[in-house]
Structure 1
């Protein structure tokens, strides 16, 4: 889990898993640009439940962590 100073972001989860944007794009069958948009908050993932489960496995994180990561970019 992230310490108090470090919020959980998609970039944090990716780096914690030791993955590059390119590796996630390959594993998730999306473009590197899409992964970059997820990371910068330019776009939130629109995934089927099976894809969400796969992303959780790829990032080795909980659903709560993933939700928090994408809540960081909300207005």
Structure 2
């Protein structure tokens, strides 16, 4: 039970969401039609995604995450 609590306390980052989904940066870039560099910048916080609602929906599906998790991931990575 303690490990469940510890895992819940782990900060949600874009990298965490990607790895939890079992995807590489390249796979995300292909699915979203962006460069690997762009995905890398999302992970480092150098750039935030600028996506249309339909693209956000697609990324949530690709990452198999909730909107809340997605928002939290990028509130942690402020440029």
Verify same fold: TM over 0.5.
yes
Structure-to-structure mapping, 1:1-75, within 5 angstroms:
2-4=7-9, 6-74=10-78
Query: Highest CA radius of gyration, 1 or 2?
Result: 2
Structure 2 distance, partners of 1:50, 1:23, is 18
Q: Could you tell me how far apart the structure 1 residues matched to 2:32 and 2:16 are?
A: 18
Where has structure 1 moved over 4 Å in runs of 4 or more?
none
Structure 1: give runs of 5+ residues left out of the alignment: none
Q: TM-score, normalised to structure 1's length?
A: 0.93
Q: Please provide the CA RMSD for this pair.
A: 1.1
Q: CA deviation at 1:12?
A: 0.2
TM-score (norm 2): 0.89
Deviations 1:24-51 (A, max 9, x none): 0000000000000000000000000000
**1:73 deviation in Å?**
1.7
User: What is the count of residue pairs matched by the alignment?
Assistant: 73
What is the deviation of 1:60? 0.1
Unaligned stretches of 5+ residues in structure 2: 1-6
